[in-house]
């Protein structure tokens, strides 16, 4: 069986251990997606019993965090599929998230203590990052540093922890892999933020420019805000924040992002982080393979 299919099987086995009919039913509605974190672990640690368990644990934590995130964001879809909070209700999504999360932790406690510590710490950061995201979305955030801290916590920390833990399993250089995972994670979130602007709503499975409508001032908007020299333009952008956007307003934002080069510079920043990730593991025997993960993530459709 293909490696990622085995991760799904492992997660199903963990859930079956709970002997809970509802959890087994809900498992079928989880949208797993690309399983980037599992892929990363296998590329670093190879495929074996422990790396398979670690991958299942990390993917369960990730899935749990998205169940909660969809409640927080009031999202009706996840990866083009109806989200569990929409199909059932918020209570079901929250509790199934807790079930996945606690089962993953009971398995994590049986692994190496250093790994358990790294992953548990990353989950604290994830939760803090999500809270920062909620706070930052309350008003127009024009601080790049706060944005960066938030995406590190919310997204990069678990990718960093995956790379670090896999390096421990494979007895590789932990620091190099931590840096690789961190930069990969930051680039990944920035690309996600960019795709929200460049992709059409059908491809995204959600309305275009949704981030800004929901109060998320992501990197392209930050760059745009910094570069709008005309005070009137700055005001226009600030006034569009957190409002449903008409077609002509969407066009205004997109045009300004082109002319100010806010968009292309955001893409370049994500690429630069990707290169830094590559640089961190350049002396590894499978550097080429690890570099391909970065490419696959960064060269998603702009
Ligand atoms: C997606 O962000 C959200 C995350 C990557 C992390 C969410 C973390 C938590 C809810 C806390 C952790 C909780 C548990 C139970 C482990 P997004 O809304 O920017 O991305 P999206 O477009 O994919 O929804
Ligand atoms: Mg969300």
% of residues, the chain, pLDDT over 70: 99
**b (16+ CB within 10 A) / e for 15-35:** beeeeeeebeebbebbeeeeb
Higher-pLDDT residue of 301, 263: 263
Q: Which H or E element spans position 82?
A: strand 81-82
**How far apart are alpha carbons 64 and 59 in whole angstroms?**
8
What average pLDDT does range 288-292 have in this prediction? 90
Structure tokens at 50: 């422990």
Fold match flag (1-111 vs 117-302): yes
Q: Are 219 and 144 in contact (CB under 8 A)?
A: yes
Kindly tell me the burial class for residue 279, based on how many C-beta atoms sit within 10 Å of its own C-beta (0-12, 13-18, 19 or more).
middle
Ligand 1 proximity of 64 Cβ (cutoff 6 Å): yes
pLDDT tens-digit series, residues 177-191:
999 999 999 999 999
Q: The CATH number of 117-302 is which of 1.10.287.1080, 1.10.600.10, 3.20.20.70, 3.30.70.270?
A: 1.10.600.10
When pLDDT is averaged across residues 24-30 and rounded to a whole number, the result is: 97
State the Cα angle at 289 between 285 and 290, rounded to 5°. Answer: 85
Q: Domain ranges in the chain?
A: 1-111, 117-302
How much distance in Å is there from the Cα of 71 to the middle of ligand 1?
10
Rounded to whole angstroms, the Cα distance separating 286 from 170 reads 12
* Dist CA 17 CA 154 (whole Å): 30
- Cβ–ligand 1 distance for 97 under 6 Å, the answer yes
Residue 302, pLDDT above cutoff 80: no
pLDDT (0 to 100) of residue 301 = 63
Lowest mean pLDDT among 152-156, 201-205, 213-217, 247-251: 201-205
Q: How far is the CA of 149 from the centre of ligand 2 (A)?
A: 17
Q: What is the pLDDT of residue 217?
A: 98
Q: What is the mean pLDDT of residues 260-281?
A: 96
Band (293; pLDDT cuts 50, 70, 90) = confident
Mean pLDDT of the chain: 95
134-165: pLDDT as tens digits: 999 999 999 999 999 999 999 999 999 999 99
Atom 13 (ligand 1): residue with closest C-alpha? Answer: 65
Whether 2 has a pLDDT exceeding 70, the answer reads: yes
Query: CA 114, 120, 126, 131 torsion: positive or negative?
Result: negative
pLDDT, residue 59, reads 98
Per CATH, domain 1-111 is 3.40.50.1820: no
Cα(126)–Cα(63) distance, rounded to whole angstroms? 12
What number of helices (H) and strands (E) belong to the chain? 17, 2
pLDDT value of position 80 = 85
Residue 211 near ligand 1, beta carbon < 6 Å: no
Choose one of 32, 34, 66 to mutate for the ligand 1 pocket test, by most ligand atoms within 8 angstroms of C-beta: 66
Q: Is the pLDDT of residue 10 over 70?
A: yes
Q: What is the pLDDT of residue 180?
A: 97
- Residue owning tokens 């459709």: 301
Ranking 140-154, 204-218, 272-286 by mean pLDDT, the lowest is: 204-218
Rounded to a whole number of angstroms, the distance between the first and last alpha carbons of the chain is: 32
Q: Give the pair of three-digit tokens for residue 67.
A: 């169940």
Q: pTM above 0.85?
A: yes
What's the pLDDT score for residue 33? 87
């Amino acid at each position: 069986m293909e490696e990622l299919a085995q991760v799904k099987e492992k997660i199903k086995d963990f859930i079956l251990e709970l002997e809970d009919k509802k959890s087994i039913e809900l498992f079928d509605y989880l949208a797993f997606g690309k399983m980037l974190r599992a892929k990363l672990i296998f590329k670093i640690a190879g495929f074996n019993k422990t790396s398979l368990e670690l991958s299942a644990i990390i993917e369960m934590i990730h899935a749990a965090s998205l169940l909660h995130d969809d409640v927080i964001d009031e999202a009706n879809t996840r990866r083009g599929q109806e989200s569990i909070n929409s199909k059932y209700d918020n209570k079901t999504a929250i509790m199934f998230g807790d079930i996945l999360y606690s089962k993953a932790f009971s398995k994590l406690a049986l692994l190496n203590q250093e790994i358990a510590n790294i992953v548990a710490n990353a989950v604290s950061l994830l939760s803090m990052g999500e809270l920062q995201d909620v706070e930052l979305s309350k008003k127009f955030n024009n601080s790049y540093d706060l944005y960066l801290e938030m995406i590190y916590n919310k997204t990069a920390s678990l990718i960093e922890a995956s790379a670090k833990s896999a390096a421990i399993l494979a007895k590789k250089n932990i620091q190099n892999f931590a840096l690789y995972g961190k930069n990969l994670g930051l680039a990944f979130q920035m690309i996600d933020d960019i795709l929200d602007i460049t992709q059409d709503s059908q491809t995204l499975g959600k309305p275009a420019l949704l981030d800004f409508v929901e109060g998320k001032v992501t990197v392209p908007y930050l760059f745009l805000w910094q570069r709008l020299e005309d005070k009137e333009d700055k005001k226009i952008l600030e006034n569009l924040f957190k409002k449903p956007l008409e077609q002509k307003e969407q066009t205004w934002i997109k045009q300004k992002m082109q002319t100010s080069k806010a968009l292309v510079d955001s893409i370049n920043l994500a690429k630069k982080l990707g290169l830094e990730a590559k640089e961190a593991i350049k002396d590894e025997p499978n550097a080429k393979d690890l570099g391909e993960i970065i490419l696959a993530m960064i060269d998603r459709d702009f």
